[in-house]
């Protein structure tokens, strides 16, 4: 992918097409604001030296969006108040992912070495619903919880550009596996973003730039949640342990390496679905086994 500009908004594609552990970054020229600094370390270093980055904003707290934040340790840093705690403390970061004690050493090492985690205190909080003036440009901060509690998107009305962050319109679908993630809020945020009449939608991963008409992309993206549930319910025609469900690879399709990472992703998402299905009376857990109890009740929403 190549860099593209839309008015003063410069799209900086991430390495490997912005796939994890990278993301696409956004730079607001003139204002000197860099959003989600995890695209390409060399490019971001050059951006700072050549164009004078003045501050950094984060759409949310995940490591694949702050990987090169350490290059800007001396600059003001803004994030939503709800997503600030894990960025200030590594133990809190680990806790917010819901990692077990066994998983903790693997993740601590990666966070410190690969993602350059450093404790950061926000100098100002981004607030959903506020409009920030940046000279001739304004940005509407949009609260979009679900992926994380404080995820925010950014809409630039003068140039009709929306940066949707990690509501990324990929075929993989939404992530809602963190301790404080929410499937219901994820669906609501997708509906909110879908109804913003932006000519251009930018996202944090992969394709990264979408122009109208989107031809059902938001609906397909949200529909992944429903498809995951259908597969899980089909699996639970016979009782299964959580580990057996994880080993069925509903999220990732097949075993992948490193297993510590991908098994974690399977587990947390399946647990969200199982909790939701139990709450709705569709699935019951007995003696460590999950099974479907109502073949007539399906996906909510």
Of 94, 82, 76, the residue nearest 33 (C-alpha): 76
Judgement on whether residues 199 and 283 belong to the same structural domain of the protein: no
The count of C-alpha atoms lying within 13 angstroms of the C-alpha of 253, restricted to the half-sphere facing its C-beta, is 4
Q: What is the predicted pLDDT for the residue at 294?
A: 62
Report the sign of the C-alpha dihedral through residues 119, 71, 43, 256, in that order: negative
Q: What is the predicted pLDDT for the residue at 31?
A: 97
Judgement on whether residues 64 and 122 belong to the same structural domain of the protein: yes
Judgement on whether residues 212 and 262 belong to the same structural domain of the protein: no
Q: What is the predicted pLDDT for the residue at 51?
A: 82
Q: Which of 166, 183, 218 is the last residue of a domain?
A: 218
Judgement on whether residues 245 and 160 belong to the same structural domain of the protein: no
Please indicate, yes or no, if residue 223 is contained in any of the structural domains. no
**CA dist., res. 39 & res. 56, Å (int):** 13
Reading phi first (left if > 0) and then psi (alpha if -120 to 50, else beta), residue 10 is in beta
Please indicate, yes or no, if residue 205 is contained in any of the structural domains. yes
Judgement on whether residues 77 and 202 belong to the same structural domain of the protein: yes
Q: How many CB atoms lie within 10 A of CB 199?
A: 12
Of 131, 166, 142, 117, the residue nearest 14 (C-alpha): 166
Q: What is the predicted pLDDT for the residue at 297?
A: 47
Domain hosting 265: range is 236-292
Rounded to 10°, the helix 104-113/90-97 angle is 130
Q: What is the predicted pLDDT for the residue at 52?
A: 85
User: 211-229 burial string, b = 16+ CB within 10 Å, else e?
Assistant: eeeeeeebeebbeebeebb
Q: What is the CATH number of the domain that holds 81?
A: 3.60.15.10
- pTM tops 0.85: yes
Please indicate, yes or no, if residue 224 is contained in any of the structural domains. no
Classified as helix, coil or strand, 267 is helix
**CA dist., res. 118 & res. 31, Å (int):** 25
Judgement on whether residues 282 and 157 belong to the same structural domain of the protein: no
User: 119-132 burial string, b = 16+ CB within 10 Å, else e?
Assistant: ebebeeebebeeeb
Judgement on whether residues 213 and 280 belong to the same structural domain of the protein: no
Judgement on whether residues 168 and 276 belong to the same structural domain of the protein: no
Judgement on whether residues 172 and 288 belong to the same structural domain of the protein: no
For residue 166, how far is the Cα from the chain centroid? 4
**CA dist., res. 118 & res. 174, Å (int):** 27
**CA dist., res. 213 & res. 292, Å (int):** 40
For residue 54, how far is the Cα from the chain centroid? 24
Residue 63 near residue 145 (C-beta atoms within 8 A): no
Residue 242 near residue 204 (C-beta atoms within 8 A): no
Strands (E), 15-95: 25-28, 33-35, 55-57, 77-80
Please indicate, yes or no, if residue 262 is contained in any of the structural domains. yes
Q: Which of 186, 218, 250 is the last residue of a domain?
A: 218
Judgement on whether residues 261 and 147 belong to the same structural domain of the protein: no
Q: Which of 161, 191, 218 is the last residue of a domain?
A: 218
Please indicate, yes or no, if residue 189 is contained in any of the structural domains. yes
Series of mean pLDDT values for 10-residue runs along the chain (301 residues)? 96 97 97 98 97 95 98 97 98 95 93 97 98 97 98 98 98 97 98 97 98 96 98 97 98 93 95 97 96 65 49
Please indicate, yes or no, if residue 169 is contained in any of the structural domains. yes
**CA dist., res. 271 & res. 263, Å (int):** 12
How many helices (H) and strands (E) are present in the chain, helices listed first? 9, 15
Please indicate, yes or no, if residue 279 is contained in any of the structural domains. yes
Which tokens belong to 192?
A: 């909110």
Longest dimension (CA), the chain: 62
Judgement on whether residues 120 and 246 belong to the same structural domain of the protein: no
Q: What is the predicted pLDDT for the residue at 260?
A: 87
Judgement on whether residues 250 and 198 belong to the same structural domain of the protein: no
Strand partners, 142: 153
Please indicate, yes or no, if residue 29 is contained in any of the structural domains. yes
- Give how many domains the chain has, as a whole number: 2
Q: Which residue has the tokens 């109804």?
A: 195
């Amino acid at each position: 992918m190549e860099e593209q500009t839309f008015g003063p908004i410069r799209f900086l594609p991430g390495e490997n097409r912005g796939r994890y552990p990278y993301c696409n970054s956004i730079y607001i020229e003139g204002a000197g604001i860099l959003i989600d600094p995890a695209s390409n370390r060399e490019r971001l270093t050059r951006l700072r030296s050549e164009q004078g980055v003045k501050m950094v904003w984060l759409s949310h707290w995940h490591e694949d969006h702050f990987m090169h934040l350490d290059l800007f340790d001396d600059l003001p840093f803004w994030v939503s108040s709800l997503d600030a705690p894990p960025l200030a403390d590594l133990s809190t970061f680990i806790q917010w992912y819901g990692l077990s004690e066994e998983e903790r050493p693997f993740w601590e090492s990666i966070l410190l070495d690969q993602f350059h985690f450093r404790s950061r205190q926000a100098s100002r909080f981004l607030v959903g619903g506020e409009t920030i003036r940046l000279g001739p440009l304004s940005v509407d901060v949009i609260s979009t919880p679900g992926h994380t509690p404080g995820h925010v998107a950014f809409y630039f009305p003068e140039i009709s550009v929306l940066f949707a962050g990690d509501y990324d319109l990929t075929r993989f679908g939404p992530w809602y596996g963190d301790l404080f993630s929410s499937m219901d809020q994820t669906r609501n945020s997708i509906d909110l973003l879908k109804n913003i009449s932006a000519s251009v939608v930018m996202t944090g991963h992969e394709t990264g730039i979408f122009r109208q008409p989107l031809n059902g992309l938001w609906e397909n993206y949200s529909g992944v949640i429903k498809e995951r549930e259908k597969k899980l319910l089909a699996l639970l025609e016979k009782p299964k342990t959580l580990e057996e469900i994880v080993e069925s690879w509903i999220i990732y399709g097949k075993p992948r390496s490193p297993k510590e990472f991908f098994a974690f992703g399977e587990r947390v998402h399946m647990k969200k679905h199982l909790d939701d299905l139990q709450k709705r009376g569709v699935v019951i857990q007995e003696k460590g086994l999950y099974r479907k109890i109502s073949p007539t009740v399906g996906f909510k929403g």
